[in-house]
A and B are shown apart, each in its own frame.
Chain A
Amino acid sequence: MNNELKKECKPKRGVSLYSYNGDYGVSMNLEDMFSEMNDIGARGLEILANSHIEGYPNPSKEWLQNWDRLIEKFDIVPVEYGHWVDSRLYQGREITSEESLIMLERDFKIANRLGFTVLRTKLGVIDDDLTPVTNWREFIKMALPIAEKYNVRMCPEIHAPTLLKSKMVKEFVEFIEETGTKYFGLNIDFGVFQTNYLEASEFGPDDFIMPQGDHSEVEDVIPLLPYVYCCHAKFIKMSEDCEEVTIPYEKIIKTLIEHNWDGYMLSEYEGPHAKVTGYASTQIRRQHIMMKKLLGE
């Protein structure tokens, strides 16, 4: 029994459907993406509400029935529901806390219906340092009892160029500690640990290239782990022998295992040729060979 518990207490594998965005609607539908996950044993699912829910924010009964069927058929665990509080929804002004709350509650209900318990809550930002809107504390506090009711945890994503040791992360942690809430936490994007960068020549003309910048040390994640409900297993390039060439995965996964973190790592491919048919699938398959190895699966 003890052995079994110990065995289970380590990170789990999943995929963010964001990764397949070049194929979605063109050569892959929801069922194809779930089937792909099933092939590679990645049970944890992240969807983006605005992208992957047909008829969002009012999916039809038929769509919901199909969702339930596919989740069961492919043995998928709904993990993280990506959604946005679009502060600049209207040109020329920021939305109010009350308007933000309405957006949040709308997504809580859908996430709960679809079986998700963690939300990747993307807040609007006000400057080049990605500082969130000034009223975030107000509307998040207003939303906490509703999040509890729908059993969902709002998690801003800590994403490069933000560092783990930064004012922003410190303020999120202070908010969690002050309120004592279990319904607000963090999603760490492994891109914050990126140490190497690809040559510009490796990218295609339409590819998004993340500017180079400072990175966080892997051990900086340790004090945050109690608040981390899931991670984006961001990656840029898997070599043919299944090594990630820009992000120190071995150290990251070792650290998560050592500290008994047992959330989901959701693959997020953001490298070259992401829009080329089938490219992301190949990259994700290689990444899961690496993650399986590092997890001892």
Chain B
Amino acid sequence: MLEKECIQSRGFRNVVNQGKNTGFQFNIRSLYYRGLWLSQLRPATITVDGETFSGNQITWTINDITYEQEEMLTLGNVHWGLLEPATLTVRKEGGLKPGSHDIELTYQYSSSYFPPSMDTLLSSAPYNRTLILVQ
């Protein structure tokens, strides 16, 4: 089972490549009532302790496959289900220091059955959570 919040506490950690911290990651679940095709998602923006990341600084990993945000807009046949947490990985040299971090996540999604003027109305972002990173 998942935690009720969008931003999950399990999965928050630094990303280590060849002995160096190259970024950090955390898991999210979708709070929308239906799963989405990746092309229906709009690129995420993440702010941690006041520093904002967007575009190609962020990747999404869904079912063990990692996607660049730009690429996702073209993927109308890859599905993100409600029971599948997505891992958001943020490129940041040095990663984050151990301790408490305030995370804010914004991403939107399209709903074709809503009027075009309200295409992303159901997206209830931003999502906030304070999480503790150990390593």
Contacts and interface: CB of A to CB of B under 8 A. Distances in A.
Contact of B2 (A26, A87, A128, A206): A26
B75 to A, nearest CB: 10
A84 B33 CA distance: 13
B130 interface: no
A126 interface: yes
B119 interface: yes
A56 B81 contact: yes
A190 to B, nearest CB: 18
Nearest to B110: A88
From B35, B76, B114, residue with most partner A Cβ within 10 Å = B35
Interface stretch (A17-25, A181-189, A224-232): A17-25
Contact of B116 (A24, A26, A88, A122): A88
Nearest to A99: B76
Nearest to B114: A125
B35 A124 contact: no
- Chain B, interface size category, equals 20 to 34
B39 A50 contact: no
| Secondary structure call for the A interface | loop
B112 A55 contact: no
Interface in A108-163: 122-128, 130
B116 A90 contact: no
A86 interface: yes
Interface string B98-119: 0000000000001011111101
A278 interface: no
B1 A25 contact: yes
A84 to B, nearest CB: 7
A26 B35 contact: no
Q: Is the interface of B mostly helix, strand, loop or mixed?
A: loop
Interface string B63-85: 00000000001101001011100
B81 A55 contact: yes
B79 A50 contact: yes
Contacts of A56: 35, 79, 81
B128 interface: no
Interface residues of A, number: 34
Contact of B113 (A24, A29, A48, A123): A123
B40 A51 contact: no
Nearest to A129: B115
B5 to A, nearest CB: 10
A85 B76 CA distance: 12
Contacts of B39: 89-91
B82 A51 contact: yes
A130 B114 CA distance: 7
A2 to B, nearest CB: 44
A54 interface: yes
Interface in A1-45: 18, 21, 24-27, 29
A126 B117 CA distance: 9
A57 interface: yes
Contacts of B1: 25-27, 29
B83 A25 contact: yes
Contacts of A26: 1-4
A40 to B, nearest CB: 21
B29 interface: yes
From A21, A25, A87, A128, residue with most partner B Cβ within 10 Å: A25
Interface in A38-87: 48, 50-51, 53-57, 84-87
A88 B124 contact: no
Closest 6 CB pairs of A and B: A124-B112, A50-B35, A21-B33, A88-B112, A50-B34, A86-B112
